[in-house]
Structure 1
Amino acid sequence: MSKTLPEKYRHPYAFDSKYKKSAVYFSMEFAIDQSLKIYSGGLGFLAGSHMRSAHDLKQNVIGIGILWKKGYYDQFKKEDLSMGVQFQEKIYHFLEETNIKFTIKINNADVWVTAYYLNPKTFGTVPMFFLTTDLPENDYLAKSTTFRLYDSDPMAKIAQTMVLGLGGAKLLDALDYEPDLYHLNEAHALSCVFHLYNKFNSVEAIREKMVFTTHTPEEAGNEKHNIHLLNSLSFFDGIPLEKVREITGIYDDTFNHTLVGLRLSRIANGVSKLHGEVSRDMWKDYPGICPIINITNAQNKKYWVDAWLEEAFQNKDREALIKRKTRLKTKLFEIVADQTGKLFDPNIITIVWARRFADYKRPHLITRDYNRFIQLLENSDRPVQIIFAGKPYPADYGAIHNFDNLTHISKNIKNMAVLAGHELKLSRQLKKGADVWLNNPRVTREASGTSGMTAAMNGAVNFSTNDGWVREFKDLNKKQNSFVLPIVDHTLPTHEQDDLDLHNLYEMLENEILPLYYDTPKKWWDLVETSMSHVAPFFESGRMVDEYYKKLYK
């Protein structure tokens, strides 16, 4: 097979000599642009930055994902302001039809797949292909496989991973393209290894070509299915079950996708130093796994940073920096006013909590001591404004309840807002308008997290538990660049951890952060500038994609 893509899909640059080895990056979601709604959260934000920085550094990488017809979902507020979920058809005129069609077997039936092409010139990415089963040759069940990202039906979600893995591998065959490396961003595309086994008839050949990035810091959180269910759905690409057991080392009935990914890759990585340590410890007792290194996540500064704010920072013009930050807050507050009817003040410190609503991220932690929360927001000496945003998984009714409860609390509080529609555009505006970026996951649960990186790039100060990337950030140059809570004993019951973290959060906020902002503004802006200087280059994705070549692709 060819080592080069067909001419019309080739990169628009000569490859940098450091990055000539060819790699294909498989991801279930990519956050490339607000107009392309095929992502849910951090995994997609990371993948989008990877594709942009790979382009900027002239790397020999292409991306393969899925064209989700109805996206993740559209988030809105119902009549009573509770959260609504809408699945609306999306049409993308900037994607190009490849007219490539092929079939994969799902549940022993042929399902037709086609691919759409994202030209690198459109959004400044490497060449990208998005797979869809929404074709007239398919019945409704097959068509709907690529309708909703992370379908809540377990069988449908397995079928989706097969479109990404088996379909992605077959697309490369249809392009007559054989890359040096298959890079799986999480285990969603794992089924591609069975296509590769059928092609090469060798586990060693698969290992030579496979690298794997794992994001899940708990063994229980990694996807598992009954091996007989997967077999009945044709997950193993026609390979007999006994041979599958031999290939994967899975001899019981529980097929652990991450474990198989670690066994069939030549090397894998966790996504922060801490997560690398957690992953090595988590999998150390399983035989046959590959080495697990760590490559800390990062984000594409060129896409995320406000250009005028960055110019003022680079020119060491503090007056211009403060003026621009105030303007950015004003622009964010226009959205607050539009969605909530509340007029926020750009001279008041503004705290933002905005990311995927998941239980371990504890979106409502600061409100759990309700009396103290109300005292905080009613303090006229050191006033505070707080904004929440984020999209719960549409079938996670506990997370939706937390979102709705925050909205209910906010109804009678003029300086608290809960915003809907948390996607790339709103995410950028929140980071540009925040003074304090609040991040309070239970420690060891956040593999990396990246939202605080792009907040810091836009002059927001991180206020976080000591987890993920922040652990590395706070120790840079031994100079304070953030506010990080002391680590509590994570073997304690979760309610005790939460109580201790909540107490420490208020102590730090009331005794350190608010006095610094209001009483010593010069020191506050010193901290802002230190944070901005520390976040790049290490937490800029140019460093990350360079490390992927040096450490993972070598």
Structure 2
Amino acid sequence: MTRTELFGYSPNSEYQTSVAYFSMEFAIDQSLKIYSGGLGFLSGSHLRSAFELKQNLLGIGMLWKYGYYDQVRDKDNNMVPAFVQKDYSFLEDTGIILSVPVHSAMVKVKAFLLRPETFGTAPLFLLSTDLPENDEVSKSITHRLYDPNEATQIAQSIILGIGGGMLLDQLNLQPDYYHMNEGHAVPLNFYLYSKYQNLTEIKKRMVFTTHTPELAGNEEHDFSLLKEMSFFYHMQDHEVKFVLGLEGDKFNYTLAALKFSGKANAVSKLHGEVAREMWGGYDGICEIISITNAQNQKYWQDSEIAKSVEENNEQEFFGRKKELKSMLFQHVADQTGKLFDENVLTLVWARRFAAYKRADLLMHDWERFEALLKLSKYPIQIIWAGKPYPEDKGANQIFNSIIDKTRKFPNCAVLVGYELGLSSLLKKGSDVWLNNPKMYREASGTSGMTAAMNGAINLSIPDGWIPEFALNGENCFLIEPAQDSLSEEARDRKENANLMDVLENMVLPTYYDHPKKWFNMVQKGFKGVVPEFESARMAEAYYKQMYQQAN
């Protein structure tokens, strides 16, 4: 398969440098369920913009038989995970079968291709071990995205990294750059080391994007287990330690990726500062720059909302927003039996569900929360949605506690099935997009970008990408962070109070009493987010800043 046959187009002259982009998840289309959250949304938008710009970039990912999981409800209306086999007639079976060493045995891996014309993306290869030639354990490697079993997680990285490297060789495609989106594909470097026998040669070709702004969140495993599982390909663990200058019994994916790469990037300016502070004390790591995440406007934005904002047509904007709210509220009614009103301000909290993102911060002062829901002068409707990791008991408990606590309120709804389709409905149908993570824990966050593209106003803590965008009271509403010196409980209490103050004293009165000012904020948010946080800017930045090192 030649590059021309693969792409179906000739790359633009400014994007001739060839890139293979490795990611454990890609959010391409609602029908292709191979993603969990923000990492996938980011890589999906990247592939869309690479296609629109005609860049010489292809993706390598995994074909998850059961996806991440399906969110369903049990008899008590609580959220539970379900694992359902996925079949995709639109993926092309390339006929390529690779043999990848895992646990000193050979696992067969088949490559499937998502062609550019199918969904308007750069070409994407997806790897599967669910083949008749494999035993049941080997088949299960590509069953579940982020499988909870440690050995299976490690095997998934081996298939992505080593299997992906082998696939490129099989296709006779030698990219100028290999791009690791997060550290999952780090075994790729050991495959390349077997070819080049030289760290310098790998660093010329490898770049890395880190998304995790806390040390504990960066994956690591025992050297002994990784060696046993053939994670290091043909290298011994003592060679790995010597070549990378590593010590101790644990192998950290992110640290290794920073040592293998010629350049790395954090995903917002603030995250860049955090990442350089986190890793700057280690010898032999590459430079860490910042390229802020972004999302694809063509995919996410409602064209009528865009037209009304660009033409300064306030009446058209509010009319279209009501139509979009009506579409969302049909979904709310179907899931929850609650009828929402298109004339009422609708606040949405929706994103990957993790404890640090604090979906329940609004409820910290329960009496004040109840009073907010009963305001007659400034009524409000609130929707929550998101997917917790199925084995994260704490996050799942928070999710179901919100369902339980808000069951009696006709103006509160918790939705399941948070995937691309529902995410789009929520962003188009919301008036206010709430983002209140614990400070310095959100590397970037991108949901607020696509909300702003659809005329929603961000109500946010100034974390991740927000400081690069926010003009408080002009294009968004900021929640003042509490002092770092306070205890976690005291910070939650203070930031809840700050959130409620802004909501009661600024957001609601502006929406109901000053619609012209509201529309003006929408316009400024819209202009502030595009093109700066549109993924064409990001895809171009990667070519200019990451793929142009001197060889």
Distance 1:7 1:210 in 2: 20
Q: Percent identity?
A: 52
Distance 2:369 2:106 in 1: 57
Alignment of 1:25-64 (within 5 A): 25-64=21-60
Match of 1:401 in 2: 397
Match of 1:181 in 2: 177
Match of 1:312 in 2: 308
Report Cα offsets for 1:469-524 as digits up to 9, x if no partner.
Answer: 0111114xx88200111232234321111111101000111111111111111111
Give the one of 326, 333, 338 matched to 2:329: 333
Match of 2:89 in 1: 93
**Structure 1 portions without partners, runs of 5+:** none
Q: Is 1:460–2:456 an aligned residue pair?
A: yes
Give the one of 543, 546, 553 matched to 2:547: 553
Match of 2:100 in 1: 104
Distance 2:54 2:337 in 1: 46
Report Cα offsets for 1:204-231 as digits up to 9, x if no partner.
Answer: 1110100000001112211111111100
Match of 2:272 in 1: 276
Distance 2:479 2:405 in 1: 25
Distance 1:7 1:531 in 2: 40
Kindly state the Cα deviation for residue 10 of structure 1 after the two structures are TM-superposed.
2.4
**Equivalent residues, number:** 548
Q: Is 1:79–2:94 an aligned residue pair?
A: no
Match of 1:474 in 2: 470
Report Cα offsets for 1:61-87 as digits up to 9, x if no partner.
Answer: 000000000000000111101111100
> RMSD between aligned alpha carbons?
1.1
Distance 2:244 2:35 in 1: 30
Match of 2:19 in 1: 23
Report Cα offsets for 1:106-137 as digits up to 9, x if no partner.
Answer: 11111000110001000000111000001111
Tell whether the 8 Å contact from 2:22 to 2:180 is kept in structure 1 after alignment.
Answer: yes
Tell whether the 8 Å contact from 2:7 to 2:115 is kept in structure 1 after alignment.
Answer: no
Distance change >3 Å, CA 363–CA 9, structure 1 → 2: farther
Give the one of 109, 116, 119 matched to 1:123: 119
Distance 1:356 1:311 in 2: 30
Match of 1:514 in 2: 508
Match of 1:543 in 2: 537
SS at match of 2:168: helix
Q: Is 1:264–2:257 an aligned residue pair?
A: no
Tell whether the 8 Å contact from 1:131 to 1:163 is kept in structure 2 after alignment.
Answer: yes
Q: Is 1:223–2:230 an aligned residue pair?
A: no
Match of 2:191 in 1: 195
Report Cα offsets for 1:175-205 as digits up to 9, x if no partner.
Answer: 1111000000000000000000001111111
SS at match of 1:388: strand
Distance 1:417 1:513 in 2: 20
Distance 1:540 1:265 in 2: 26
Distance 2:76 2:126 in 1: 37
Match of 1:501 in 2: 495
Distance 1:173 1:479 in 2: 53
Distance 1:341 1:193 in 2: 52
**Structure 2 portions without partners, runs of 5+:** none
Give the one of 227, 233, 236 matched to 1:237: 233
Distance 2:250 2:485 in 1: 27
Distance 2:26 2:60 in 1: 9
Q: Which amino acid aligns with 1:551?
A: Q
Kindly state the Cα deviation for residue 372 of structure 1 after the two structures are TM-superposed.
0.7
The TM-score with structure 2 as length reference comes to 0.98
Q: Is 1:169–2:165 an aligned residue pair?
A: yes
Could you list the structure 1 runs, at least 4 aligned residues long, displaced by more than 4 angstroms after superposition: none
Tell whether the 8 Å contact from 1:9 to 1:127 is kept in structure 2 after alignment.
Answer: no
SS at match of 1:380: coil
